[in-house]
Amino acid sequence: MKNYMKFINYSNLIIIFGIAIVLGIAVIIKMSGVLEGFGDLTAENIGPLTRETRITKATWMGIKDKVFNKEVDPDLQARLGNEWKNFITEREGLYYAEHGRFPYPEAIKECFIQGEEKQVREEKNKDFTKKERSKAMQELSYFEKSLPVRMFVLRAPMNMNPCVNKIPELKVIEKLLDSSSGVLTKDNRKLNCGLGAQSDELRAYKIQRDMNGREVKADPHTVGIEELPELVPEIHFLNKPCNPCDDMVNCKFGVNKKVSNVASMWWGINSASNSQIV
């Protein structure tokens, strides 16, 4: 009986010790900045650069000809030519010099493949076969060879990517960019980015219904960006009023009184007290 009790107590100690190890690992993962739901996205690989981490001119000069060899997004590559210091770390530059491509976190790559799969299934009405996946991987490889990851993710608002739903700030931008969707205001108007609006304005129109109940746009006009938090209380600016349509890099805002961890790391906000796990 004594031996049996010793065995039970010993087994319980092993279980408790195992639980402690698991909890310890969870704490370490949490403290390391790995995001729940995004696997390997950390401040180190999507956060802003510092003087100590940004790529040196010598490294950039050694890789830039290969980077610009494939133009998969001419507009972003043109921007990269002017702002390369702000988008590449020295480690990423050296990685490119060795492997011929920029390192992308697995979460970003899988997010891209998911977007391609959605497009094939819903827009082309086809199965996402091994051949289709291979084509998507090939397209992704072009981006890896020509755009650092911090610049690649600037494409996210432009694509109807399912991963955008995990980042509330990008979801707002996606709706603003989508003329068929828009962001609904508390007085039943919809807001959009677009032509005809200045950099400090958003397009707006009133929502009416026709005889068949379909939505009809009426009274097109513009509103100042400073009115955005009043019109859409879910949105608040972190600093001064800015236009989310222009550039998420510079326009910092939160949704529902919170800032997602992805946006916090992207903007280099150290305090996570007001952040949410996405």
Give the number of residues written for the chain.
278
pLDDT tens for each residue of 82-127 = 999 989 999 999 999 999 999 998 888 888 888 888 888 887 788 8
Burial of 262 (0-12, 13-18, 19+ CB in 10 A): buried
C-alpha–C-alpha distance, residues 225 and 227, integer Å: 5
The residue-averaged pLDDT of 218-245 equals 92
Q: What are the contacts of 119-127 at 24+ separation with CB within 8 A?
A: 119/160
Which residue has better confidence, 24 or 139? 139
C-alpha–C-alpha distance, residues 235 and 256, integer Å: 6
pTM exceeds 0.75 for this model: no
How high is the pLDDT of residue 47? 81
How high is the pLDDT of residue 58? 96
The dihedrals phi and psi of 264, each to the nearest 5 degrees, come to -60, -45
Contact present, 38 and 262 (Cβ < 8 Å)? yes
In three-state secondary structure terms, 14 is: helix
The residue ranges of every structural domain in the chain are 49-163, 167-276
Half-sphere exposure of 135 (CA within 13 A, CB side): 10
Q: Over the chain, what is the mean pLDDT?
A: 78
Contact present, 145 and 70 (Cβ < 8 Å)? yes
pLDDT tens for each residue of 103-112 = 998 888 888 8
Alpha helical stretches, state H, 119-210: 130-146, 149-152, 168-177
